[in-house]
A = this chain, B = another copy of it.
Amino acid sequence: MRASDRAYRKLLDEIVAGELPAGTVLGEVEQSERLGVSRTPLREAFNRLAADGMINAEPGRGVVVSQLSLETVTELYEVREGLEEQAARLAAQRADKEVFKKLWDEFENSKSLILGGELGANVFYELNAKFDDAIDEAIQNPYMVTTLKNVRNHMARVRKLARSNPARLLEAASETQLIVEAIATGDAALAAHATHVHLHKSHSRVSAAVREQLAKLNKEVA
């Protein structure tokens, strides 16, 4: 694997995981030494991250990990709404229905697991990743897939900032299951509307969690 790829992957992981929090200033020399690569591949990684919207190059000061706020979360959801409703519609028209029928069963079977504490969250996230992959495969639109992937990276970052409780995860799983059902039956309109509903509720849940998190951070400062 290329050094620039390693640097990109590592930095992206660390940003998404919150190990490099929003506002962190990244120097070229500093980071190239830390990651064990020279400045050339590191700059390549920086450029890709900037194209992803994960960092912003501030004139003179270096690159800064981009901010996360209630506003940016809302912006993200507005894009998701447009993109994922369309994706759900297309998937309903084009998907291999068997794949989504099996996925529906998996959602059904995992419901009890999701409520079961710490491990439950992992089950949920793995299932969601499977759902995303199935969508990508179904829509047969590489351009849309790359756009979706970027959105998902940003969402992963938001989720890490504010993890949800099992009850909320189960709620989200049920909403997603309805989308899966709509796609499995080829009901494009329902797939789009169910996605709208899911995103609306998800936005509420995530906003609440982020609000709490930000309040906690402010408390610590005070």
Complex Cα–Cα for A86 and B143 (A): 18
User: Of A46-54, A99-107, A119-127, which stretch is located at the interface?
Assistant: A46-54
Within 8 A of B (CB), among A16-46: 40, 43-44
Contact of A143 with B83 at beta-carbon distance under 8 Å, contacts A48-B47, A51-B51 already known: no
Does any Cβ of B come within 8 Å of A117's Cβ? Answer: no
Does any Cβ of B come within 8 Å of A208's Cβ? Answer: no
User: Of A74-82, A167-175, A181-189, A211-219, which stretch is located at the interface?
Assistant: A74-82
Q: How large is the interface on A (under 10, 10 to 19, 20 to 34, 35 or more residues)?
A: 20 to 34
Within 8 A of B (CB), among A135-167: 139, 141-144, 146-147, 154
User: Given the complex, which residues of B lie within 8 Å of A146, measured CB to CB?
Assistant: 53
A41 to chain B, nearest CB (A): 10
Our pick among B44, B48, B82 for the contact of A82 (Cβ within 8 Å) is B82
How many copies of this chain does one complex carry? Answer: 2
Contact B83 A79 (CB under 8 A): yes
Complex Cα–Cα for A222 and B144 (A): 35
Chain A interface SS verdict (over half): helix
From A52, A78, A81, A82, residue with most partner B Cβ within 10 Å: A82
Contact A86 B82 (CB under 8 A): yes
User: Given the complex, which residues of B lie within 8 Å of A11, measured CB to CB?
Assistant: none
Q: 16 new A-B pairs (CB below 8 Å) besides A48-B51, A79-B147?
A: A40-B40, A44-B47, A47-B47, A47-B48, A76-B143, A78-B139, A79-B86, A79-B144, A81-B86, A82-B84, A82-B85, A82-B86, A82-B87, A82-B144, A143-B154, A147-B147
By a beta-carbon cutoff of 8 Å, the part of chain A in contact with chain B is 40, 43-44, 47-48, 51-53, 72, 75-76, 78-79, 81-87, 90, 139, 141-144, 146-147, 154
14 A-B pairs with CB atoms under 8 Å apart are A44-B47, A51-B51, A51-B52, A75-B143, A75-B144, A78-B86, A78-B141, A78-B144, A81-B86, A82-B83, A82-B84, A82-B85, A83-B83, A147-B147
